Amino acid sequence: MHVALNAWFWNQPHTGSGQYVRELVCALWRLRRSEARYGELRLTLVAPEHSGALTDVPDGVQVVRVRTGNGQIGKVLFEQRAFPRAAGAVGAQIAHVPYWAAPLSSPVRLVVTIHDVIPLSMPIYQGGLGGRLYFGLVRASAQGVAHIITDSEFSKQEIVQHIGVPAEMVTAIPLAVSERFHPRIGAERDAEVRRKYNLPEQYALYLGGFDVRKNLRALIAAYTYVGPSVGDEYPLVLAGAPPKRWGTARFPDLPAEIAARDGLGQWIRWIGAVDEADKPALYRMARLFVMPSRYEGFGLGALEAMACGTPVVAAEASSLPEVVGNAAYLVPPHDSRTLGGAIIAVLIQDDLHASLQNLGLARASHFSWERTARQTYAVYEQVLAR
């Protein structure tokens, strides 16, 4: 079996799509080397020349570079023309696009991974005319692929509803986390990371984006209850890169300004962007991780926190209950009072904290990239058998 993968995001491991394609390829290649059943698997990464040499590619995985433009137009031309042509030229039997951007036509059978359909369920994420045209294109292309992979049963339902494909054409395959996310592995760097970001001795953590679906307003409002009670001992640390522009429909307010306006600045600290290598330490040192998001295709942050042994408080919305199971404290996404109460309870009740910690570690152990790779290979087999 020969599979060509779109590697546009390979050299961008800080992105979700970059992490996914790297972890999937490495896990598939480990299976090939360890089990005879996968011995005939061949993988080819197709990448644009301008991205530079691909880093950390497993030995034996072929890399093909194609000339294409940069920017959004160059990306569309790569997705729609250069990648499928290259997949056909190398003799691949399957072309896998590991993010939502399948070509409209291809000489090779197409598999596409659609992590979520946020732009269709929340149109403000489409942007201007260019964004609407692009998502119209990728929506149309998704209807013509051989199979769709997604991250959760919730996302599968969304894809069936918003793209209009049959349910049997979509397979939910959960993601996993890197081995770096661990209660002890790498803990020798924790003190260094604490100094780097000037972190308090104890804190509640939010790590993620600041767009409107992330529901930061509800989290900050929750600290009107948490702050006067335990905020001095457990401030809220907000971590994540800022958008290019605030004051839009997607990014309505600067969190620090909301906190100051509401008189919560003394209990809320925004540390900005965090290096990928430092994320496990941030999770490990936190007393709890909170994920109040209203919409997640999978909710990887909650799984990363649980894998590090950090209790999770999360919104009972979209895919989050599916990911955390009974291993997190779930609350309604719009109820700041209940969210505040949940945060206080996990912060100060040692027995609850320990219970969620143990449940989270057990839950996280059920997810692995090996399992993801096996199920993805099964989809490849299904496509070739049809």
Mean per-residue pLDDT, 344-357 = 98
| Predicted local confidence at residue 260, as pLDDT | 64
**Chain segment 12-55, per-residue pLDDT in tens:** 988 889 999 999 999 999 999 999 999 999 999 999 998 889 99
Distance CA 314, CA 67 (A): 44
What value does the mean pLDDT of the chain take? 92
Q: Where are the domains of the chain?
A: 2-176+368-385, 187-364
Question: Assign residue 298 a region: left if phi > 0, alpha if psi is -120 to 50, beta otherwise?
Answer: alpha
Mean per-residue pLDDT, 336-352 = 98
Distance CA 53, CA 57 (A): 10
| Predicted local confidence at residue 253, as pLDDT | 64
| Predicted local confidence at residue 43, as pLDDT | 98
User: CA nearest 297: which of 172, 206, 209, 177?
Assistant: 172
Residue 362: its H or E element: helix 350-364
pTM: 0.92
Same fold flag, 2-176+368-385 and 187-364? yes
pLDDT at residue 129 tops 60: no
Buried b (16+ CB within 10 A) or exposed e, 175-184: bbbbeebbee
Confidence of residue 254 (pLDDT cuts 50, 70, 90): low
Tokens representing 91?
A: 């003799």
Buried b (16+ CB within 10 A) or exposed e, 161-174: eebebeeebbbbbb
Evaluate whether the domain defined by 2-176+368-385 bears CATH number 3.40.50.2000.
Answer: yes
Distance CA 281, CA 185 (A): 10
pLDDT at residue 344 tops 80: yes
Residue 318: CB atoms within 10 Å: 24
Q: Give the side-chain half-sphere CA count within 13 A for 71.
A: 3
Instruction: Report phi then psi at 198, rounded to 5.
Output: 50, 50
**Chain segment 89-110, per-residue pLDDT in tens:** 999 999 999 998 889 899 999 9
SS3 call for 297 = coil
pLDDT at residue 182 tops 80: yes
| Predicted local confidence at residue 126, as pLDDT | 67
Tokens representing 27?
A: 């896990």
Distance CA 273, CA 268 (A): 16
Residue 65: CB atoms within 10 Å: 17
Mean per-residue pLDDT, 144-149 = 94
Q: Which residue has the tokens 């292309």?
A: 141
**Chain segment 305-319, per-residue pLDDT in tens:** 999 999 999 999 999
What distance separates the 2 farthest-apart alpha carbons in the chain?
A: 64
What's the Rg (C-alpha) of the chain?
A: 21
> pLDDT: is 243 or 302 the higher one?
302
**Chain segment 364-375, per-residue pLDDT in tens:** 999 999 999 999
Amino acid, single-letter form, for residue 160: V
Helix and strand numbers, DSSP H then E, in the chain: 15, 13
pLDDT at residue 132 tops 70: no
Tokens representing 202?
A: 């104890």
| Predicted local confidence at residue 136, as pLDDT | 77
> pLDDT: is 265 or 153 the higher one?
153
**Chain segment 215-231, per-residue pLDDT in tens:** 998 999 999 999 999 99
Work out the angle between the directed axes of helices 336-348 and 350-364 (0-180°, nearest 10). 100
Tokens representing 336?
A: 């700041």
187-364 — its CATH code? 3.40.50.2000
Distance CA 336, CA 330 (A): 12
